Structure 1
Amino acid sequence: MLSEDGWPEDMVFAAEKLHAYLSILQSIVDISPQFRKQAATLISQIYQLQQRLSYHLQSIKQAREYSKKAVLYGKEGQDPTTLTMALRELASVYEWPQDIPSQKRRKLALLTAQEAVYTMSQPGVVVPALVRSWALIGLAKFQALNGQKQEVIRSVREAQEAFAQATPDEDMPGFHLDHANLVRQEAIARAYTGAQNEALALFAQLIDIESEHAPMREKMSPRTHMGLLSEATFASLKLPSQQKDKELSIRLWQAELEIAKKLKSETYLNEAYIAYRVMESLWPDDPIICDLRDMLV
């Protein structure tokens, strides 16, 4: 599978090549009892990658459709690691605004994340520690989104414990289940519980929020960096009035927008637009904020 370090042209090329294999694999699922499960598992993995590509190059709605197919084929393939990842990624899709009421989305995200953890927790099922960590930190995030603060603490702890058990040979290409993403997800969970200062402190472990362009403090993909900048921007904008820092919010926003343009990410360009509207409402007569509008063009 493709690494997230690839640029949009590489991502489009990969998506086109992978799509060509779907009809072949679907034929195997339809006519070969012997290899049906293996083919279905591969189809699920392809749809998972296409879902991640569609975040940036298509739409959240399209990502949702790919994710649902990934879960469908993951269940047919009966590979617990693939199915756990498919469910975890579908839960993430529900995190984003779309044509589903927000309260229903939050509930769907939590239920799907719970199913992911349930899948990997069945007797006799063994999945890589990184996958367990990713599913558990996802559960923490969606528990936070649903106001379950005490459950968040437990799930974060379990995710950290699972991550500590990972071995160097564990790898899920294209997903970046690394330390940076673990801390990032915890920070998002903190932000969802309303603890914006705690979230910013965690983000600051990964990016230098006080420097221009907010560079990475540890190795991560450009897309992870972009996501961190966007999430840190919103956390800064949600601080209590007396703690808001206009210069910090602008610095984070400009850095996120720069990467979003470079990667041609429609999702994060839209996030930058939303963040700008928030800044505009917070500081409506500020000439610096007004001038930033030109960067959105």
Structure 2
Amino acid sequence: MKAAVFHKPGDISYDTVADPRIEQPGDVILRVTSTAICGSDLHILSGAVPQTTDMIMGHEFMGIVEEVGAEVKNLKRGDRVIVPFPIACGQCFFCNHGASPSCENSNYKHYGPNGDMMDQKGAALFGYTDLYGGYSGGQAEYVRVPYADISPRIIPDNLTDEQALFLTDIFPTGWSGIDWAQLKGGEVVAIFGSGPVGLMAQKAAWINGASRVIAIDPLDYRLEKARAVNNVDTLNPHKVDVVEAIREMTGGRGADVCVDAVGFEPERNFMDKVKQP
């Protein structure tokens, strides 16, 4: 099959690789019909998230079930599904308490609360380095999906791939930031970062009853998009003191909820650009 393969920082190519196969009785093999590139893929491309061996990229994908492991109960050949990006076992403490991104079993080699670089991870992620489980990703013609009875969801025929694909990562990530804040209605919500996840968080804030949503980003084109699609207030930290501006916008009180939709590598300086592969 063909796949987008990471080789080293700055080097991803479209290669012919071996087809995936059923490895565990809970696996399915999915024929990928749509996939996306995530901003966090750039952390691998730049070398910020290290990977020393070749790896198939991609953690945002959906497709048609082609093969089914012997113990899979909820899916059958021909089902059209989306696949959330964390790989969850469905049986550990965190999976049983609604916190599947902290699954204890899917990334057992690097799971743990030790606080160091190598062992502070939660669940495995598709196509996101050996530190996150070493699973091949979905920027490929086919992909093996483990624990297939747990996370994949069947998509109704009346939804196109384009309508459903954001449910693999972008929308639920933005939604979670708002959901965890437990809005009651009427809150002022400040969202730092106005990329795709930030835009989804802005939508989620309105849906959950925010009275005002403020988007903060250093790139004007992102703020223009936020105003156009989400009708939010915007602040550029290169042009205003964000803290003082938010206080002024809220009668001195400040925001009720703040959401980080940036992650890391938020803005590259001159030296970051020089060292780019």
TM-score between the two structures when normalised by the length of structure 2: 0.28
Greater relative contact order structure (CA < 8 Å, 6+ sep): 2
Higher strand share: 2
Higher helix share: 1
